[in-house]
């Protein structure tokens, strides 16, 4: 099955490095677009749409689905939690404080179902602007957009994963939850060894590479998928360490072969970082036995290029359980310490 990476939180992907990474390593790219005739897509997304690689995600499909009411309840629940947090910081607060202009942002009305629009308008949170745009408090828009992204991923018939270019955006979706050990997941971090195309690499060159060197690219991607799947199926810490060791030993050969293919295709790259979140069914018993901190420290005693970290985050109500056996969220970025050009 082809896999789609959903960019969060914007429509257009401003990070040129990110869009090239996503194009190279995923089959399709998506972002949440207000309506079908939206005409402000970036030139890069328009080009990828023509190539049938970029597929817009339209909120109306969610609003018309059986999940619409559940989605709206989830947002209202989060909004009430936000309102309580504001009230706890200031016992007396005026509505205008929550939606002060310097802290506001815009969202198109087509991204909000009518029932929620009415709800927010009744609470005086909405300022109607021209051409269907609405002005709301930035915090409220963030809460809304991350809930929308959650449900777009959860209800998608496609194999869709979350993609971000920075940790705060990922944390907005997958919040920390140390109270529920059932939500413990594993975060794999490949450090300074994940090839990423330079930003001056044309999108067309990357597409040609994917077609002409499909087998070599798939073999490289499969190495990572195999590790994700093995960790998901692991029954204890020892098994994870075993898979970690095997991966490190085979990765060096695999990545060198892949680097050679990139060089032959004249795709210039830098070595950056990839982190992926994976569900961890056995974590409940392990954490009861030794605790989260001990588990993380035990696994991290491995080699430098691969870090295995354990976190408790809210993912069980976001990710479709059928997709647990591989990574469900990815963060890809260049190394800040050293950029290594592949000659």
> Digits of tens for pLDDT over the chain (343 positions)?
468 999 888 899 888 889 999 999 999 999 999 888 898 999 999 999 999 999 999 999 999 999 899 999 989 998 998 888 776 544 433 343 333 333 457 788 888 998 998 999 898 888 888 788 888 888 888 888 888 988 888 888 888 888 877 666 666 666 665 555 556 677 788 877 888 898 899 999 999 999 999 999 999 999 888 988 888 888 877 888 888 888 888 887 888 889 889 989 999 888 888 888 887 776 555 555 545 554 554 444 444 477 766 666 655 555 555 555 566 677 776 654 444 444 4
User: What pLDDT is stored for residue 70 in this prediction?
Assistant: 92
The single-letter DSSP state of residue 91 is S
User: What pLDDT is stored for residue 298 in this prediction?
Assistant: 46
User: What pLDDT is stored for residue 337 in this prediction?
Assistant: 44
**319 and 154 Cβ atoms separated by less than 8 Å:** yes
The model's pLDDT over 38-84, given as tens digits with 9 standing for 90+, comes to 989 999 999 999 999 999 999 999 999 998 999 999 899 989 988 88
User: What pLDDT is stored for residue 91 in this prediction?
Assistant: 40
**9 and 146 Cβ atoms separated by less than 8 Å:** yes
Report angle CA 274, 279, 284 to the nearest 5 degrees.
130
Q: In 10 A of CB 73, how many CB atoms?
A: 10
State how far the Cα of 255 lies from the Cα of 266, in Å rounded to an integer.
16
The model's pLDDT over 248-268, given as tens digits with 9 standing for 90+, comes to 888 878 888 898 899 899 998
User: What pLDDT is stored for residue 158 in this prediction?
Assistant: 80
Strand order of the β-sheet with 104-108 is 104-108, 133-137, 127-128
Report angle CA 189, 190, 191 to the nearest 5 degrees.
105
pTM for the structure as a whole: 0.80
């Amino acid at each position: 099955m082809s896999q789609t990476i959903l960019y969060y939180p914007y429509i257009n992907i401003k990070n040129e490095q990110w869009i090239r990474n996503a194009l190279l390593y995923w089959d399709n790219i998506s972002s949440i677009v207000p309506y079908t005739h939206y005409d402000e897509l970036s030139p890069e997304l328009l080009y990828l749409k023509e190539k049938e690689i970029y597929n817009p995600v339209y909120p109306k499909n969610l609003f018309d689905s059986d999940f619409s009411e559940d989605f709206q309840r989830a947002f209202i629940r989060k909004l009430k939690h936000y309102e309580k947090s504001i009230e706890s910081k200031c016992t007396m607060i005026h509505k205008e404080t929550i939606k002060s202009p310097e802290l506001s942002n815009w969202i198109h009305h087509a991204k909000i179902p009518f029932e929620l629009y009415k709800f927010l308008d009744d609470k005086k949170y909405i300022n109607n602007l021209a051409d269907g745009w609405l002005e709301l408090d930035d915090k409220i828009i963030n809460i809304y957009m991350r809930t929308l992204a959650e449900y777009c991923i959860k209800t998608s018939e496609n194999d869709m994963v979350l993609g971000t270019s920075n940790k705060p955006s990922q944390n907005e979706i997958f919040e920390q939850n140390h109270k529920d050990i059932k939500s413990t997941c594993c975060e794999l971090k490949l450090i300074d060894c994940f090839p990423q195309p330079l930003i001056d690499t044309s999108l067309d060159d990357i597409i040609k590479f994917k077609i002409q060197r499909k087998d070599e690219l798939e073999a490289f991607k499969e190495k990572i998928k195999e590790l994700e799947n093995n960790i998901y199926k692991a029954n204890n810490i020892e098994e994870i360490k075993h898979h970690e060791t095997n991966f490190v030993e085979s990765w060096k050969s695999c990545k060198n072969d892949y680097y050679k293919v990139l060089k032959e295709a004249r795709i210039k790259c830098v070595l950056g970082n990839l982190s992926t979140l994976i569900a961890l069914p056995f974590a409940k018993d392990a954490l009861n036995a030794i605790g989260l901190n001990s588990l993380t420290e035990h696994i991290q005693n491995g080699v430098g290029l691969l870090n295995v970290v354990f976190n408790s985050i809210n993912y069980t109500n976001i990710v479709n359980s059928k997709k647990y056996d591989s990574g469900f969220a990815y963060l890809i970025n260049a190394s800040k310490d050293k950029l290594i050009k592949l000659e």
